[in-house]
Chain A
Amino acid sequence: MNQQVQTHTLSNGLTILTKEIHHVPLVSHWVWYRIGSRNEVPGKTGISHWVEHMQFKGTPKYPINVLDQAISRDGGFWNALTSLDWTTYLETLPADKLDIALDLEADRMVNSSFDPQETELERTVVISEREGNENEPLFRLGEAVNALGFKAHPYRNQVIGNKKDLETITRDQLYGHYKQHYSPNNAVVALAGDFDTATVLSRIEELYGNIAAQDNGTLTPEPEGALEDFYRVDLEGPGDTVYLQVSYRSPAANNEDFFALMVLDSLLTGPSSLDMFGGGSISNKTSRLYQLLVETDKAVSISGGLQATVDPYLYDILAILPPDHPEDEILRVIDDEIKKLQDHKVPAEDIQRAIKQAKALFAYGSENITNQAFWLGYSSMFADPSWFDQYIPNLEKVNAEQLMQAARKYLNSEQRIVGIYRPKEKGK
């Protein structure tokens, strides 16, 4: 019998979320920390991500490679991700191997070594990761747009960090960041799969019970409201492809407008989910901007991007254009269509269609337990686990009036950033 999500909290503040799913002998176990690039200061951008890399370099109990062998040898996989608002570590493994994951995550919450030599080796790995990103025109465009999207909020930086900071951050700064932010009161443990909740809870109590809560002193930046003006950035690079990114301020995920913006995005650029681990996609060929831009040969593709974030972030519309196509025409089409959404109520059947698409994506995303466990912890980073349970009901509550209000509030042509990446002239 599959159970609903249960929430437990230890006296040291550690939150534990469990969802039993018994149809396959697998468990997915995640530990989430409320620390990401959002909490970084100038000069130390990228430090949260680099700390995440160092967490794979071993503790006295689980030296480097021992951890890796322990997880991998029975068919498990492990990984970690650093994002704007959080850092997370996951292991999905055979159900009877869960204890190794519980033990190693509790251990590396406090005991990671941050060996100085390993730190230096990892510096070049992280710089290599950044250089791989820099190869992509869209990374460069996104970095330039974000820098305009925020005056001071750290969302203006990329999670990977600035290269200059990656060259100068020290081992002691990394270790300090780790010791400051990795504590039970700043963490959420999320499990989905084939386990018994009572047994797992008592084991977690045993492993984490003696780790003290602490004052993390985490930098909490001032959220930034609507963009004050129209901004534009032009980039050039080799090739024959034009990339156009149009970005608007988006609401925080726990803002009531978030679901309206999800529906607007679905109408404009097609349905998408927030899944990061599995699931499936639906094409966007009947979305409004595909019809208006791709079906008229003005663009070769169109997509939208809305992220669930703690503070207001950016909602992006991205178009790939044929060479030499004037972007003004594309912007005019986007503006005209948004104007319609601001001035007229969306027909009920269009909203119903977006809901059906969201339900289908939700069903595809529920096919694997890794993605289910992901959702438990992920939604806790910006709301609580009920955000996940209420995802479809909240979408279903969105009405035409709210859509019109949200389009007026968030999608103004006078308050946005236009970023263009254009081929440079040959021979320059």
Chain B
Amino acid sequence: MAVQNINWNNLPGPDSIQRFTLANNITVLTYNNANVSSVYMVGLLNSGSSLDPQDKLGLAHFTAGMLSRGTARHNFNDFHEELENRGANLSFSCGANNTWFRGRALAEDLETLFSLSAESLRQPAFRPEYFERMRAQLLAGLAMREQDTGEAASLLFDQFLFPGHPYGQPTDGYPETIQRIRREDLLQFHQDQYSPDGMILIIAGALDSQQVVDLAKQYFADWENRSAKPQPLQALPDPPTELIRKHHYLEDKSQADLILGTRGPQRTSADYLPVYLGNNILGQFGLMGRIGESVRTRSGLAYYASSSITAWADSGSWEFSAGTSGENLEKTIELIRDEIRKYVSAPVSAEELDDSQSNLIGRLPLSLESNAGLANAILSMERFALGLDYYQRYAQTIRAITPADILNASRKYLDPDRLVITSAGPGDDIL
């Protein structure tokens, strides 16, 4: 067994992760990876596109994008000279609940990541010239999105899985909402929503923890934002109660992208790991589990077919996707629904369970190999309060899950007759 080869105590855990919290409620976690010469940083703030006004969807995304377009101390060129001259990288992005920043540098340039990320978050300049340039770039991105079958199917899916909720709306907005955003909106959003309170910062790589403590204090300890507003709680809509079928016609496309699915467990739910393990059997294991076997291997209908779950603090989604020709679209949908029906009708076999348990456990070292892998794993533990010994306990937790656990948990979410089914590509619109 490969698991015997893994020294579980060598995985990141309470003894090897240093964790401290600044007075302004920024939590910093560090992990020294002695095998590399580089460092990786990932951080997140509690401000995301859920806060966008309806008529200005894309505001949080626009704001995040502007953070690397110059600060009070560095104009655009100086900012990027600082990074690129060192072969370092720092980027900002935005999801529904959070603004993210990710950086990478040689170990000797860690301070550059700290100083520039702090400046960007605390003193962005939002210079008018770059505001308009960024708008043009965002609109160009949306024009490309408009022609992308995968993106179009995904937009429809979110819209009908989370009707009326921010999760159902695109983080990057629509052309008309981007056109409405003014520079003052960005300044206001930054003032209201960017705060150190609850910020998490992870650094993994060739580092000295004490140095990171000192840098975090130097660049972030005196940040405060007393005018920051609390995030409003927004009620989630009910999951689908019937089959909802939508298709978006796109001209000159050879293939359709398909997404179908429903809601999944939230990350902190007791259902999460049984569903995660069950999904591995259903649409991940090997060449994409039962779904890949049915749609690709046995039927030759698609180049890709698989399923995945995505989980946040308050909700999640369970998605099945495939790319197939227009004429095979309905057949592919039925094959996937058949597999879902079988999956929720009977427990997985002991052999399938054992295979997927071994797969999830055995691949841990691979997922924790790079600095980015380590940092993202530590971030999950912190963000969802999984406990810093989560990965050290992981094998026994996964091994304890039974076929009945998987069936019971999965049935709460998955039903072949209650699904959102969306596609984009050749074929008439279904609106």
Chain A residues closer than 8 Å to B3, beta-carbon distance: 74
Task: Mark contacts of A339-369 with chain B using CB atoms, 8 A cut-off: 1 yes-contact digit, 0 otherwise.
Answer: 0000000000000010011111101101111
Indicate if B198 sits at the interface (CB-CB under 8 A): no
Which 3 residue pairs spanning A and B have beta carbons closest together?
A75-B362, A360-B87, A75-B363
The residue on A at minimum CB distance from B301 is A124
Known: A23-B35, A93-B362. 11 other contacts (CB 8 A): A73-B354, A122-B300, A131-B255, A132-B323, A135-B253, A238-B147, A360-B38, A360-B88, A360-B105, A364-B38, A368-B370
Contact B324 A241 (CB under 8 A): no
Contact A75 B366 (CB under 8 A): yes
A122 to chain B, nearest CB (A): 6
Contact B300 A120 (CB under 8 A): yes
A98 to chain B, nearest CB (A): 11
Contact B251 A238 (CB under 8 A): yes
Stretch in contact with the other chain, from B23-31, B46-54, B77-85: B77-85
Indicate if B252 sits at the interface (CB-CB under 8 A): yes
Q: Select which of A137, A301, A359, A369 is within 8 A of B87 by beta carbon.
A: A359
Chain B residues closer than 8 Å to A122, beta-carbon distance: 300
Indicate if A322 sits at the interface (CB-CB under 8 A): yes
Task: Mark contacts of B279-303 with chain A using CB atoms, 8 A cut-off: 1 yes-contact digit, 0 otherwise.
Answer: 0000001110000010011111111
Chain A residues closer than 8 Å to B358, beta-carbon distance: 73-75
Chain B residues closer than 8 Å to A137, beta-carbon distance: 147
Chain A residues closer than 8 Å to B88, beta-carbon distance: 282, 360
Query: What total of chain B residues lie within 8 Å of the partner, measured CB to CB?
Result: 77
Once bound together, how far apart are the Cα atoms of A76 and B366, in whole Å?
A: 8
Stretch in contact with the other chain, from B138-146, B162-170, B267-275: B138-146
Chain B residues closer than 8 Å to A123, beta-carbon distance: 300
Q: Select which of B80, B323, B369 is within 8 A of A283 by beta carbon.
A: B80
A194 to chain B, nearest CB (A): 9
> Given contacts A75-B363, A353-B85, is CB(A128)–CB(B324) below 8 Å?
yes
Chain A residues closer than 8 Å to B250, beta-carbon distance: 238
What are some 27 contacts across the A-B interface (CB < 8 A)? Answer: A23-B35, A24-B369, A26-B366, A64-B297, A65-B286, A71-B286, A73-B359, A77-B363, A94-B365, A126-B303, A128-B303, A132-B255, A238-B147, A241-B144, A241-B147, A271-B84, A278-B370, A283-B84, A283-B89, A283-B91, A291-B77, A294-B133, A322-B136, A360-B88, A360-B106, A367-B369, A367-B371
Contact B38 A356 (CB under 8 A): no
Contact A356 B87 (CB under 8 A): yes
> Given contacts A238-B147, A300-B140, is CB(A94)–CB(B5) below 8 Å?
yes
> Given contacts A353-B85, A364-B104, A367-B369, is CB(A135)–CB(B425) below 8 Å?
yes
Contact B303 A367 (CB under 8 A): no
> Given contacts A285-B84, A364-B104, is CB(A72)–CB(B324) below 8 Å?
no
Interface residues in A45-59 (C-beta closer than 8 Å to B):
56
Indicate if A176 sits at the interface (CB-CB under 8 A): no
Interface residues in A1-36 (C-beta closer than 8 Å to B):
23-26
Indicate if B377 sits at the interface (CB-CB under 8 A): no
Which among B3, B83, B144, B148 has the highest number of chain A CB atoms within 10 Å?
A: B144
B146 to chain A, nearest CB (A): 7
The residue on B at minimum CB distance from A64 is B297
Chain B residues closer than 8 Å to A300, beta-carbon distance: 136-137, 140-141
Interface size class of A (residues with CB under 8 A): 35 or more
Interface residues in B1-52 (C-beta closer than 8 Å to A):
1-7, 34-38, 40
Q: Select which of B36, B84, B297 is within 8 A of A286 by beta carbon.
A: B84
Contact B140 A320 (CB under 8 A): yes
The residue on A at minimum CB distance from B323 is A132
Once bound together, how far apart are the Cα atoms of A283 and B81, in whole Å?
A: 10
Task: Mark contacts of B346-388 with chain A using CB atoms, 8 A cut-off: 1 yes-contact digit, 0 otherwise.
Answer: 0000000011001111111110011110000000000000000
A241 to chain B, nearest CB (A): 5
Indicate if B227 sits at the interface (CB-CB under 8 A): no
The residue on B at minimum CB distance from A355 is B87
Indicate if B254 sits at the interface (CB-CB under 8 A): yes
B62 to chain A, nearest CB (A): 15
